[in-house]
Every structure is written in C-alpha cells, then in structure tokens.
C-alpha cells in the first residue's frame, strides 16, 4: 500500500513531522511504501471559486504546485493529513490544500482512499472536536474512507519525541494502518 503524508506544519523536525516519521516506521514494518510532502515547500494559491472545476474537464486554471500534489494524492492508497492546531483548526497551508481539492469531487479522484489525520496541539485531544469533524465531513464529501485520527499534546518544537508513551502509540498506529 502507498501512504502519502501531507505535512501542514511549517516546522521541519516539529511535532507533526516527528509523528509522521514514527507512524511511517510502524507502517514500513508492514511493508507499506511511505512518502512525505512538506506543504510549506509547495506553492498553493487560494481557491477563488471561479467554478472551472465544476464543468467541462473539471480543470483548475490556477498555476501552482497543486497539479503535482493532486497527482501524488490520487496515486496513494492512504492519505495522512498532518497539521498542528492553529486556532482550533488546521494551519493556513493545510486549509489552502483542502480548498483546492474541489476538482477531485467531480472526478472522484480520491474516492475509496483512506484518510487519517495527525494533530498535535498544546491543549490536546479535548479541543480537537472541530478539526476532527471538519476532516470527517470532508473525507465523506470526497468519497474517502475515514481511518481515524492521531491526536496528541505537544507544544515546543520536537517535544513529542520526549513522550515515549505517545511515540509508542504512534508506532502502533502506523503498524495498524
């Protein structure tokens, strides 16, 4: 199985990044092929609701890195959406990506793919209700299969690596993907 992680944190070596790597370590033990993309290294412009993607060949006319990102996404079997909580939602970069997935509604490009979210935050799982719901509903809208959420508490850069219990849980989470 091909697993693609979309890292929506601006911090390389941050909590989201380390969790993705740990989940990958677990997933590789099961023979899965894993690839990670740093969204902050990609050019993703905002959706401007021009509605081109709703007609004809469902093509988005915006010139940026989205065609390559969508090509990778449609090749993967499982998509990991990794984002820290910023103001009780995803980071702006992750939201830009999600807004631009509209062409894949009509083409059903992500239908049947498994979706997972990985979300560290200072306040922890108890404040993640809105982000969990947002992804759950978006997966449903795209015809994806919701495979759950890894929610955890961490604040400083790389802090999660000192939490051996959570790192172990991430490893097992990856193994079970």
Residues that bind ligand FMN (CB under 6 A): 9, 11, 14-16, 84-88, 120-123, 127, 154-155, 157
The residue with its CB nearest to ligand FMN is 14
**How many angstroms from the chain centroid is the CA of residue 10?**
13
For the chain, helix, strand, coil in percent to 5 are 40, 20, 35
Residue 104 CB, shortest distance to ligand FMN, in Å, is 26
Q: Cα–Cα distance between 125 and 119 in angstroms, integer?
A: 8
What minimum distance in Å lies between the beta carbon of 150 and ligand FMN? 12
Q: Minimum CB separation from ligand FMN for residue 145, in Å?
A: 25
- The residue among 11 and 32 lying less far from ligand FMN, judged by its C-beta, is 11
Q: How far is the CB of 50 from ligand FMN (least distance, A)?
A: 29
Nearer to ligand FMN, 12 or 108 (CB): 12
Residue 162, C-beta contacts closer than 8 angstroms, at least 6 positions apart: none
| E strand or H helix at 120 | strand 114-121
Residue nearer to ligand FMN on the CB measure, 16 or 78:
16
Vertex 155: Cα angle to 167 and 41 (nearest 5):
85
């Amino acid at each position: 199985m091909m697993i693609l992680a979309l890292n929506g944190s601006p911090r390389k070596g941050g909590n989201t990044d380390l969790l993705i790597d740990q989940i990958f370590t677990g997933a590789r033990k099961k023979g899965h092929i894993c690839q990670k993309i740093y969204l902050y290294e990609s050019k993703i412009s905002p959706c401007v609701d021009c509605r081109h993607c709703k007609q004809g060949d469902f093509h988005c006319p915006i010139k940026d890195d989205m065609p390559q990102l969508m090509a990778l996404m449609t090749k993967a079997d499982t998509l990991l959406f990794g984002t820290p909580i910023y103001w009780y939602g995803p980071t702006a970069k992750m939201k830009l990506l999600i807004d631009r997935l509209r062409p894949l509604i009509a083409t059903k490009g992500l239908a049947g793919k498994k979706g997972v979210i990985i979300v560290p935050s200072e306040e922890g799982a108890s404040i993640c209700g809105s982000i969990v719901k947002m992804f759950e509903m978006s997966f449903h809208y795209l015809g994806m299969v919701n495979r759950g959420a890894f929610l955890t508490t961490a604040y400083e850069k790389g802090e999660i690596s000192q939490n051996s219990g959570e790192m172990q849980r991430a490893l097992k989470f990856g193994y079970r993907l």
